[in-house]
Chain A
Amino acid sequence: MASALERLRRSSAVDLTGLGLVALVLFWLAVNFVKAPAEFINVGLIGLTNGAIYGIVALGYTIVYGILQLINFAHGDVFALSGLVASTVIVSVLGLDADASVPVIVGGMLLTLVVIMTMFSFVNATIERVAYKPLRHAPRLAPLITAIGVSFIVQNVGLAIYGVNFRSVPAFIPPTNVFEIGGVSYTWDKLAALMVVVPLLGLLTWFVRQTRQGKAMRAVSQDREASAMMGIDVNRTISITFAIAGSLAGAAGIVFLLQFNMRYDTGFELGLIAFTAAVLGGIGNLPGAVLGAILIGLIQAFNEGLTWFAPGSDWTRTIVFGILILILVFRPEGLLGERTPEGA
């Protein structure tokens, strides 16, 4: 009885602190908005776009976690390698550049997407087959350590092929404005990212909710043994899950490359950011991963782009990983996740 009361008091103190913090952040956002509304919205749009890219990487973490309860540390590195290979496809194979005509750009983008997504779905499924499947019945620590090993291997493959220099592609999708209204603008290269990410999110949602194989994926995530008793081929379903995660990482690699330079280790930090997003939303929860990613994208953009009392980009990592620690301590099930005995 006393301990229950104590817990109540403690949790309400935590809630109050949390509410205070949220109020402070909202106040800070409001002041920034009032001081420079157009700039505020621009920064918000950047945050949304980056958040969407983080989102498809975060989904890769979350669907794999859902089905194997494994944090696939190699996922970020698969993303980075896919971006590097995409740079080869775009620059050396297709030769896309700023002079290309619109049909060539659209066709080139679609071709690159198909090639890279197919390729990295195989890469990721192969990683599962070779590195994780033999450890299916081992204690949970074993595949986790293997995942860290695979992360280094994939990173070093990138290093061996592409060296230490950053790679980029010519601005074949020009960063010119799609629209500009009263100082608020949005550029084509960002819209291209959304035009890739949003349909993929829709496709994944449809697949998981409506299709036979998607339902099998959910079933295996919820009870692997019962799924086997229904006649679901569990190994095949796990392979398909990794293939989907790999193709999403591939798509993310391409759209990231449109706006940023990449090299062999780009996946480390971006992977951690996406992982944080997945945990923030509730690991294993698909809409949660996207929500978490958009929140992180917004937090990062506001932190780096606002002018009134913004901590600035030096603090981005501290803030993002501070959030990770806060969630793990106070709400380990994440924003949309459910409480499970393991708290994950």
Chain B
Amino acid sequence: MNAGLPTENILELDDVHVFYGAIHALKGVSLTVREGEIVTLIGANGAGKSTTLRAINGLNHARRGSIRFQGNDITTATPHTIVKGGIAQSPEGRRLFPRMTVIENLEMGAFQRTDRENFQADMDRVFELFPRLYERRTQNAGTMSGGEQQMCAIGRALMARPKLLLLDEPSMGLAPIFVEKIFEIVREINAQGTPVLLVEQNALMALDAAHRGYVMETGRIALEGEAAELKTNEAVQKAYLGLE
């Protein structure tokens, strides 16, 4: 499936443990994302998918284990240095700045960038991907519909020109036609060279879009493999694809 892809790891998690107070949320997660890949992370509610992305982003530091990005250890780095290094996230629940306009939200996405000259071109590209956002560009993000907010959150992450894009349930709350469109955009972003780590509830579509996948269960990686293989895996079909 991923023949022709370079096999260099851009992201490596090795035995990562994360705690919320006394709650042991990640119990030794190891995964990799290679250059050019879409990797999906699926699993039941509370399995630890968002926590994994938060650990990568430096919002919850791993108490044990290590996280390497492009060969550098970022396990204990601060979030803003990690973002500056090239990891952008569209977080669960969108987390837009509600009393800032769409344009200002997009500007915040590009906050750590130093190449101000490409800024307008990138914003135009986001507006091209999401024409609806252009119509809403001077509206406060908090007053937009859920779907519009989701587009803005993805656009905001793209504005960082990331070397690795983390997407936490980008299709959440979107009408089916928009879900299709979001997956199309994820493929397109990836085709232009950006590796993507995609957390999804919609396991079927995620496995269709991804090269490889990981299945999480209660803080651990239960299964991993080529996306096409996972799709035909009996346990996955039963638990996540709603097939008997």
A232 to B107, alpha carbons, bound, how many Å? Answer: 12
A223 to B94, alpha carbons, bound, how many Å? Answer: 11
Q: Give B93-111 interface residues, CB cut-off 8 Å to A.
A: 95-100, 104, 107-109, 111
Q: Is B59 an interface residue (CB 8 A)?
A: yes
* Known A-B contacts A218-B99, A219-B97, A222-B97; A230 and B59 likewise in contact (beta carbons under 8 Å): no
A229 to B60, alpha carbons, bound, how many Å? Answer: 12
Chain A interface SS verdict (over half) = helix
Binding site for B on A (CB under 8 A): 212, 215-216, 218-219, 222-223, 225-234
Q: Are A231 and B95 in contact (CB under 8 A)?
A: no
Inter-chain contacts of A225 with B (CB < 8 A): 59, 91, 95
Q: Are A231 and B84 in contact (CB under 8 A)?
A: yes
Q: Is B63 an interface residue (CB 8 A)?
A: no
Instruction: Give the interface size class of chain B.
Output: 20 to 34
Most chain-A CB neighbours within 10 Å: which of B80, B84, B96, B112? Answer: B80
Binding site for A on B (CB under 8 A): 57-59, 78-80, 83-84, 88-89, 91, 95-100, 104, 107-109, 111-112, 156, 160
Q: Are B79 and A223 in contact (CB under 8 A)?
A: no
Q: Are A222 and B160 in contact (CB under 8 A)?
A: no
Inter-chain contacts of B107 with A (CB < 8 A): 215
Q: Are A222 and B100 in contact (CB under 8 A)?
A: yes
Q: Are A215 and B100 in contact (CB under 8 A)?
A: yes
Inter-chain contacts of B79 with A (CB < 8 A): 228-229, 231, 234
Q: Are B83 and A231 in contact (CB under 8 A)?
A: yes
A–B pairs, 19, beta carbons within 8 Å: A215-B104, A218-B99, A218-B100, A219-B108, A223-B95, A225-B95, A226-B96, A226-B97, A228-B83, A229-B57, A229-B88, A229-B89, A229-B95, A230-B109, A230-B111, A230-B156, A231-B80, A231-B111, A231-B160
Inter-chain contacts of B104 with A (CB < 8 A): 215
A94 to B192, alpha carbons, bound, how many Å? Answer: 64
User: CB within 8 A of A215: which of B80, B88, B108?
Assistant: B108
A223 to B92, alpha carbons, bound, how many Å? Answer: 13
A272 to B25, alpha carbons, bound, how many Å? Answer: 45
Residue of A nearest to B99 (CB): A222
A218 to B107, alpha carbons, bound, how many Å? Answer: 13
A219 to B99, alpha carbons, bound, how many Å? Answer: 9
Residue of A nearest to B95 (CB): A226
Task: For the complex formed, measure the closest distance between the CB of A140 and the CB atoms of chain B, giving whole angstroms.
Answer: 17
Residue of B nearest to A233 (CB): B80
* Known A-B contacts A215-B104, A226-B91; A232 and B97 likewise in contact (beta carbons under 8 Å): no
A86 to B107, alpha carbons, bound, how many Å? Answer: 40
Task: For the complex formed, measure the closest distance between the CB of B82 and the CB atoms of chain A, giving whole angstroms.
Answer: 8
Inter-chain contacts of A222 with B (CB < 8 A): 97-100
* Known A-B contacts A216-B111, A234-B80; A229 and B97 likewise in contact (beta carbons under 8 Å): no
Q: Are B100 and A231 in contact (CB under 8 A)?
A: no
Inter-chain contacts of A215 with B (CB < 8 A): 100, 104, 107-108
A225 to B50, alpha carbons, bound, how many Å? Answer: 14
A285 to B111, alpha carbons, bound, how many Å? Answer: 24
Inter-chain contacts of A232 with B (CB < 8 A): 80, 108, 111-112
Q: Are B59 and A227 in contact (CB under 8 A)?
A: no
Q: Are B112 and A230 in contact (CB under 8 A)?
A: yes
Task: For the complex formed, measure the closest distance between the CB of A219 and the CB atoms of chain B, giving whole angstroms.
Answer: 5
Inter-chain contacts of B111 with A (CB < 8 A): 212, 216, 230-232
Q: Are A229 and B91 in contact (CB under 8 A)?
A: yes
Q: Are A229 and B59 in contact (CB under 8 A)?
A: yes
Q: Are A223 and B80 in contact (CB under 8 A)?
A: no
Residue of A nearest to B160 (CB): A231
Inter-chain contacts of A218 with B (CB < 8 A): 97, 99-100
Q: Are A228 and B97 in contact (CB under 8 A)?
A: no
User: CB within 8 A of A231: which of B59, B91, B96, B112?
Assistant: B112
Q: Are B95 and A228 in contact (CB under 8 A)?
A: no
* Known A-B contacts A216-B111, A218-B99, A222-B97; A228 and B59 likewise in contact (beta carbons under 8 Å): yes
Residue of B nearest to A235 (CB): B78
Most chain-A CB neighbours within 10 Å: which of B88, B99, B108, B112? Answer: B108
Most chain-B CB neighbours within 10 Å: which of A222, A230, A232, A234? Answer: A230
